[in-house]
Amino acid sequence: MYKQLIRPLLFKFDPEEVHSFTNSAVKSAFHLPLAKSITKSLFQVKDPRLERKVFGLTFPNPVGLAAGFDKDAKMIDEFSELGFGFIEIGTLTPKAQEGNPKPRLFRLPQDGAIINRMGFNNHGVDAAVERLKTRKSNIIIGGNIGKNKVTPNEQALQDYLYCFDALYDVVDYFVVNVSSPNTPDLRALQEKEPLLDLLANLQNRNQGKAKPKPLLLKIAPDLNHAQLDDIVEIAVQTNLAGIIATNTTISRAGLRTSSQQIEAMGMGGLSGRPLRDASTQVLKYLRQNLPEEIRLVGVGGIMTPEDALEKLAAGADLVQLYTGFIYEGPSLIKHINKRILS
């Protein structure tokens, strides 16, 4: 019903407005009698064979919601009923920020893709913390953290430390985001020296806690092998728990959408089906070169259960959905979990 009826209707409207509208509609719908039980029966797959022990955490299933969809932790309880094994919030920054000027979110239906240049729009980490304190669901939560746009790279560490300290008591793992293409100069933090300094300092803060939490790094799909080798070295040196591969791409290669339309959309990160192969290749390379104890999360272009299985076969311990969730609807979570069991 989603692809035949709901999606065509939603796709007639502005993507960002639709995102806000559907979230509000879902939240309202969950106040109706039997809404939760009906949702569970439609979408949840519970089976002990789906459990994954990763980063010292027990995930009820390996299919998660990627960062960017519920930036401000407003929909944790609702999304937890759709069958996700975990939810990643953010990217969060110390101060609230509006992000880039609108329009900044574009659909490419011919390609099963999205271009976004949101720019870390969020209400600030402290507001998210207050919401997480009142959540009813016990689903595993990852905290994806970044820096404010106005913060120069030389002072970025303080932004990341602020977010880390604020979220520490209300999330289960952390993700350091230095790979978004939509914050000026952010990707420069992926270079070897600044990245090593950033992660080493965050890990020092983490290890100073009574119970350190898993610290992960999210990387771009546009890195070459030499850059990936640096990532491997840094991950080992800073004792990372894992790497998320990958964020969106700045490439526009091989798209069916016309070049005129692409140019009109402008800059931004591309996600969805065209990203699948590139992200999988990064995943494979990392798995071949990383120690086994550093775990991997595969994200990018998962539009079908077969795409998810491909990521798992390439070395991912967990997978995450974003664009596939938009194009295929919540049934994709169920179909992936059932396919894993088959």
Q: According to the annotation, is 218 in a ligand binding site?
A: yes
Q: According to the annotation, is 229 in a ligand binding site?
A: no
Neighbour tally for 55: CB within 10 Å = 22
Type of residue found at 17: E
Q: What is the pLDDT of residue 96?
A: 98
Active site residue 180: yes
Q: What is the mean pLDDT of the chain?
A: 97
Q: According to the annotation, is 182 in a ligand binding site?
A: yes
Write a three-state SS string for the chain: CHHHHHHHHHCCCCHHHHHHHHHHHHHHHCCCCCHHHHHHHHHCCCCHHHCEEECCEEECCCEEECCCCCCCCCCHHHHHCCCCCEEEEEEECCCCECCCCCCCEEEEHHHCEEEECCCCCECCHHHHHHHHHCCCCCCEEEEEECCCCCCCHHHHHHHHHHHHHHHCCCCCEEEEECCCCCCCCHHHHHCHHHHHHHHHHHHHHHHCCCCCCCEEEEECCCCCHHHHHHHHHHHHHCCCCEEEECCCECCCCCCCCCHHHHHHHCCCEEEEHHHHHHHHHHHHHHHHHCCCCCEEEEECCCCCHHHHHHHHHCCCCEEEECHHHHHHCCHHHHHHHHHHHC
Cα 342 to the center of its chain, rounded Å: 26
Q: According to the annotation, is 248 in a ligand binding site?
A: yes
Give the residue with greater pLDDT, 156 vs 33.
Answer: 156
Q: What is the pLDDT of residue 302?
A: 98
Mean pLDDT of 161-188: 97
Torsion of Cα atoms, 242 then 201 then 165 then 298, to 10° = -20
Find the catalytic residue in 20, 24, 37, 180: 180
Q: According to the annotation, is 246 in a ligand binding site?
A: yes
Q: What is the pLDDT of residue 156?
A: 97
Mean pLDDT of 38-48: 96
Q: What's the pLDDT tens digit per position in 181-216? A: 999 999 999 999 999 999 999 999 999 999 999 999
Mean pLDDT of 60-64: 98
Q: According to the annotation, is 119 in a ligand binding site?
A: yes
Q: What's the pLDDT tens digit per position in 262-313? A: 999 999 999 999 999 999 999 999 999 999 999 999 999 999 999 999 999 9
Say yes or no to pLDDT of 48 above 90. yes
Q: What's the pLDDT tens digit per position in 241-256? A: 999 999 999 999 999 9
Q: According to the annotation, is 75 in a ligand binding site?
A: no
Neighbour tally for 172: CB within 10 Å = 16
The answer to whether the Cα torsion of 259, 266, 107, 285 is positive or negative is: positive
Residue pair 297/318 in contact (Cβ under 8 Å)? The answer is yes
Q: What is the pLDDT of residue 1?
A: 82
Neighbour tally for 198: CB within 10 Å = 23
